[in-house]
Amino acid sequence: MPNAYFKRILFLVLISMAQAWPAIAETTSPARANELERLVRQDCGSCHGMTLKGGLGPDIRATALDGADAEAIAQIILNGVPGTPMPPWRPLMSEDDARWIANYLLTVPDP
Amino acid sequence: MKHFFSGLFILALAIVITGTLYADDTDLRGTGDLGIIIERATGSLLIIDSTTRTTVNRVVGLGDLSHASAVFSRDARFAFIFGRDGGLTKVDLLTGTIAGRVLQAGNAIGGAISDDGTLVAVSNYKPGGVRVFDVETLAPVADIPAQWSGGQSKTVGLVDAPGRKFVFTLWDAGETWIADFSKGNQPQVTKFADIGDRPYDALITGDGRHYIAGLYGEDGLALIDLWAEPLQPRRILNGYGRGEEKLPVYKMPHLEGWALAGDRFVLPAVGRHEILWVDRKSFAEAGRTEVHGQPVFAVARPDGRHVWVNFAHPDNDTIQVIDSLTGKIIKQWKPGPAVLHMEFTARGHEVWVSVRDADVVQVYDARTFQKKAEIPAKSPSGIFLTSRAHKTGL
């Protein structure tokens, strides 16, 4: 009985910790992160270039983004930019995915 | 006897001096069945033999090859590779070596070679415009900055046209320009304004007569009949989207080699999961076929009977084949993750298909759809066979 009780406490503690952490820390698995990195390089790369320095679409490397708000970038990824070729990616990814990509773009040094 | 020995000596001397010139016959080969496969992530390319379906060589050190394309010299010995980073590299297919390389801009999108084989032109994003180089030396010949009110425009849809001309289109400015080098290396430039909103790519028909630019910002395409006097762009397939809201386009379609299938041309629609059929004489819409996703390439088999279509992310694992007589899909399968390009052999007996995320190029029998070979390649994208050397617009 005490054993079950401690398990329950441990479970509640873990749950509350998970909720306290930023979304990016615990909802994007390493496997998903790999998929997203590939998506950024290869598929965002269709317009922004594989090194992200721009093509038909603009340069989206960290220096060019110049510390823009991650949440704002995530919203652009999810909703697209109406009137431009930037499409909404919401049908293909979760909000956490978009936040992961926004942080990735802001933190990966320019090649 | 004396004559015999001096003859032998001269022969020996000749062999020493000329070296490989008298090499065994098996060392000699033509280039007509060679081709290249771009390995986009590693800045390398494979030289392939399309008869034996094997890799002959790998050439490295070509820079950023994402979205790279290539044209060939008239003798089909040299490939000119247009890299994303502005690199223009001349590769010798026989020796598998780099014969010349210039970094001609910061960001480039493609190129073309003049009909006489003397000029190679590159279409640039940064700075915008088009730069033209000597095929032999890669020395600069002409610089066409593509100035408009917003600065230098990104250029797209650069093709060769008969009579030592290049035709290209300004993405930002919505203009098409013709650079005529027929009177020398100072081009005479003719400009057409207001062809449409954000032209994203263009092509020229195989006879060199019609130049067509696809528009991202409008439902329609811009057509210039290069035989007409005076030259006058006109709109075709106006409103093909019927004003409906566009579906998201996760990769822009490519207009490459206007696919003539019987009496109709075939085109990928933008923002619609359709390919469009166009009457070859009137350029009026002649039907449409609903397809699996946003089409990227719609490539006709050289005889025109079948059209092979691949798709943008997230539907890029699939190929559909359409019968051009009926407009019906007759075959559909999934070659693997990220099918990027399809290239027919000159007479259309086989098709080479790059499957980027499987690191493989597949070769299919174009009639039975049977897979005949798989060639390992690192993130393969564009496939270019030397038969392009003899075709306008490729």
Mean pLDDT of the region B21-44: 85
Confidence of residue B3 (pLDDT cuts 50, 70, 90): low
Nearest CB to B248; choose among A49, A54, A80: A80
Does residue A23 belong to any structural domain of this protein? no
**Spatial separation of the C-alpha atoms in residues B356 and B231, rounded to whole Å:** 41
Domain that holds residue A77: 28-107
- Which of B42, B67, B356 to mutate to probe the A interface, most A CBs <10 Å? B67
**Spatial separation of the C-alpha atoms in residues B307 and B330, rounded to whole Å:** 10
Does residue A18 belong to any structural domain of this protein? no
- Which of B249, B339, B378 to mutate to probe the A interface, most A CBs <10 Å? B249
A92–B314 CB contact, under 8 Å: yes
- Which of B252, B272, B341 to mutate to probe the A interface, most A CBs <10 Å? B252
Does residue A103 belong to any structural domain of this protein? yes
Predicted confidence at residue B101, as pLDDT, reads: 97
Minimum mean pLDDT among B15-29, B85-99, B203-217, B271-285: which range?
A: B15-29
Confidence of residue B246 (pLDDT cuts 50, 70, 90): confident
The alpha carbon of residue A92 is apart from the nearest alpha carbon of chain B, in Å, by 8
Residues of A in contact with B64 (CB under 8 A): 49-51
The alpha carbon of residue A4 is apart from the nearest alpha carbon of chain B, in Å, by 46
Residue-wise pLDDT for A76-108, tens only, equals 999 999 989 999 999 999 999 999 999 999 998
Residues of A in contact with B125 (CB under 8 A): 54-56
| Nearest to B180, CA basis, from B119, B224, B97 | B119
Does residue A86 belong to any structural domain of this protein? yes
Which tokens hold the place of B67? 């979205």
Q: Which residues contact B88 (CB under 8 A, 6 or more apart)?
A: B80, B81, B82, B101, B102, B103, B104, B108, B111, B120, B122, B133, B138
A79: closest chain B residue by CA: B248
**Spatial separation of the C-alpha atoms in residues B278 and B102, rounded to whole Å:** 40
Query: How many domains is chain A partitioned into structurally?
Result: 1
Across-strand partners of B113? B120
CATH value at residue A71? 1.10.760.10
Mean pLDDT of the region B116-142: 97
Does residue A33 belong to any structural domain of this protein? yes
Does residue A7 belong to any structural domain of this protein? no
**Spatial separation of the C-alpha atoms in residues B48 and B361, rounded to whole Å:** 11
**Spatial separation of the C-alpha atoms in residues A46 and A39, rounded to whole Å:** 10
Helical spans, DSSP H, in chain A: 2-20, 23-27, 30-39, 45-48, 62-65, 70-79, 95-107
Q: Which residues contact B308 (CB under 8 A, 6 or more apart)?
A: B297, B298, B299, B300, B301, B319, B320, B321, B342, B351
**Spatial separation of the C-alpha atoms in residues B305 and B348, rounded to whole Å:** 10
Does residue A20 belong to any structural domain of this protein? no
A85–B67 CB contact, under 8 Å: no
Minimum mean pLDDT among A39-43, A100-104, B50-54, B138-142: which range?
A: A39-43
A56–B154 CB contact, under 8 Å: yes
Residue-wise pLDDT for B355-392, tens only, equals 999 999 999 999 999 999 999 999 999 999 999 999 99
A44: closest chain B residue by CA: B250
The interface predicted TM-score of the complex, written ipTM, equals 0.78
B251–A43 CB contact, under 8 Å: yes
Does residue A17 belong to any structural domain of this protein? no
Residues of B in contact with A92 (CB under 8 A): 250, 313-314
Which tokens hold the place of B212? 């067509």
Q: Is the Cβ–Cβ distance between B145 and B152 less than 8 Å?
A: yes
A49–B107 CB contact, under 8 Å: yes
| Nearest to B158, CA basis, from B97, B105, B92 | B105
Residue-wise pLDDT for B289-343, tens only, equals 999 999 999 999 999 999 999 999 999 999 999 999 999 999 999 999 999 999 9
A45–B66 CB contact, under 8 Å: yes
